[in-house]
Amino acid sequence: MGYDETGRIVPAEPSSAVPASVLEHVFDDPAHGEPGRDGVAVHVIWEFLLLAGLATMTWLLWRDNPDALRGGRLDSLLVDVAALGLLALAAGLSLRAAAVNLAIGPVALAAALHFAEQGDRGVREALLPALVVAVLGGLALALAVVVLHVPGWAASLAAAAGVIVYIERRTGPVTAQGGYDPRDTALYLFVGFAAVAVLGGLFGAMKPVRRLIGRFRPVADPARRRGGVAATVTALALVGSTVLAMLGGVLLAANGDGPVLPRTGLDWSVLAVGTAMLAGTSAYGRRGGVFGTLFAVTLVEVFLSWSTAQGWTISRWAVGGAVLGVGLLVTRLVETFGRPRPGMELGPAGDGTITSGWALTKPPEPADAWPSVLPVRTTDTTVDAWEAPRWESAPRRWDADDR
C-alpha cells in the first residue's frame, strides 16, 4: 500500500477524509481526480447509434449501387476501411494519451509518396526505411512534447510543417511502382484492423490501462509536469501513432487507382482526428469506447462510397470538418455522462463484498441536534445545580394541602 512504501507520499484531496492508500486504488490519479470509476453507458448508447447509422448507410449503398459491395469493389472498400482505420487508430491513441498528433496526415502522405516511388524494389525494401524514419520522427516529436512539456497539437503541427516541406519537393504526381496489390488480402487487412481496434478498446476500458495511458491529461495547471510515467507512456503513444500513420499511407498508395498527388496531407489529419472523436474518444484524453472506432471508420468509408455512387464530388476537407464537428459534440457527451456520478462516495473500509467498498452516504447529523439533558452551567459557581434549594424555592404541594 501507499503508506507502507518508504519515501512515497500520496496526498489526498483536502475535501476527502479517505486514506491516501485507498485513493490510490480508486482515483485515476492518486493525487487528483474524482472518486469513482468512469461510466460506460454513454459509450454503449453512442456505439449503438453508430451501428444503426452504419446499417442504414450500408442499406442505402446496396440499394443504389449493389456492385459496390461485391467482388473487386468490395475488396477496394475493405482496404480503404483498413487504411483510414490505421489513421483513426493513430489519432485515437494520441488522443487517449492527451497529446493529439496532428502530423499523422502529412506522415501518411509522405509514406504514400515514398512507397509509390520505391515500390518496384519490393514491399520489404520500401517499407523498412519508411518504418525507421517513422520511428525516429515519432521519437523526436515525443521528446519535444515530454521534455519541454508542451501541448501535443502544437509540437505535432510543427512536425507536420517539416514533413510538408519533404512532400513539396515533388513537382508533380507520383505513379505507384511495383506490383503489390492489397486487394488480394483485403479481408485479412480489414479483420486485422477490426481486431486491433476492438482489442485496443477493451484494454483501454480497463481501469489500470486507462489510468496509465491517460496520465498525461492535465488535472490542474496544464503546464505542470505529470511525472516520468506519464512522459514515458505519452512518448510511446506518439511513436506508435506515427508508425500507424505510415502504415496507413502505404495502404492508401497501394490501393489507389491513380498517381499520388503531393498535397499537404492535413486534410487526412482532420478526417482521422474527427473519425476518432466520432468513435467516442474524448478530445481531453483518457476516455473512449470499445467498438466505436470500427463502426465510425466503416461508416465514413461507406458514406464516401455512397456519395460517389450518387455522382457527388465531396472534398475530404468537408467530410473531415463535418465529422470533427460531430466529434466535438460527442466529446462533450462523453465528458458529461462518462465521469463518475457525483453522489458516489467511498464507504468505510471493509464494508463487505456486496458493496465493494462503495456506499451512498448522507451527511452526518449535527452533533447538537438533540437538546442537552443536563442544565448548562453559564457561570462558575460552587453550588450544585441539583441541590435542594433549587427544588424548595416554591411551596410544596402537600404543605399547601395541610393548611
CA nearest 83: which of 276, 249, 315, 291? Answer: 249
Report pLDDT for 367.
Answer: 47
Specify the amino acid at residue 188.
Y
Using CA atoms, how far apart are residues 190 and 316, in angstroms rounded to an integer?
22
Q: Given its phi and psi angles, is residue 330 left (phi above 0), alpha (psi -120 to 50 degrees) or beta?
A: alpha
Res 13: pLDDT: 41
DSSP-H helix ranges across 119-206: 123-148, 152-167, 186-205
Q: What pLDDT score was predicted for residue 45?
A: 95
Instruction: Please tell me the predicted confidence (pLDDT) of residue 382.
Output: 53
What is the chain's length? Answer: 403
Reported as type and span, the H/E element at residue 358 is strand 358-359
In this structure, what C-alpha cell is assigned to residue 262?
Answer: 503531393
Residue 321 makes CB contacts below 8 A (sequence gap 6+) with 270, 274
Helix (H, G, I), strand (E, B) or coil at 260: strand
C-alpha cell at 403: 393548611
The pLDDT score that the predictor gives to residue 347 is 44
Query: Which pLDDT score is estimated for 395?
Result: 53
State the virtual CA torsion across 155, 156, 158, 164 in degrees, nearest 10: 170
Say how far apart CA 280 and CA 217 lie, in whole Å. 17
End-to-end CA distance of the chain: 81
Closest CA relative to residue 292, chosen from 235, 320, 334, 339: 334
pTM summary value: 0.78
pLDDT reported for residue 340: 72
- For 347, half-sphere exposure in the C-beta direction (CA atoms, 13 angstrom radius) is 12
Q: Within the chain, what is the greatest distance between any pair of CA atoms?
A: 132
User: Are 182 and 127 a contacting pair, CB within 8 Å?
Assistant: no
Residue pointed to by grid coordinates 512534447 = 145
- What string of pLDDT tens digits covers the 403 residues of the chain? 333 333 334 444 444 444 444 444 444 454 555 555 677 889 999 999 999 999 999 999 999 999 999 999 999 999 999 999 999 999 999 999 999 999 999 999 999 999 999 988 888 999 999 999 999 999 999 999 999 999 999 999 999 999 999 999 988 898 888 778 899 999 999 999 999 999 999 998 888 888 888 888 888 788 888 888 989 999 999 999 999 999 999 999 999 878 899 999 999 999 999 999 999 999 998 888 999 999 999 999 999 999 998 989 899 999 999 999 999 999 999 999 887 766 544 444 333 333 334 444 445 555 455 555 555 555 555 555 445 454 455 555 444 444 4
Instruction: Find residue 260's DSSP bridge partners.
Output: 174
CA Rg value for the chain:
31
Query: Alpha-carbon distance 101 to 155, whole Å?
Result: 8
CA torsion through residues 136, 137, 138, 143, sign: positive
Q: Grid coordinates standing for 80?
A: 480503404
For 27, the grid coordinates are 482515483
Angstrom distance (rounded) from CA 312 to CA 319? 12
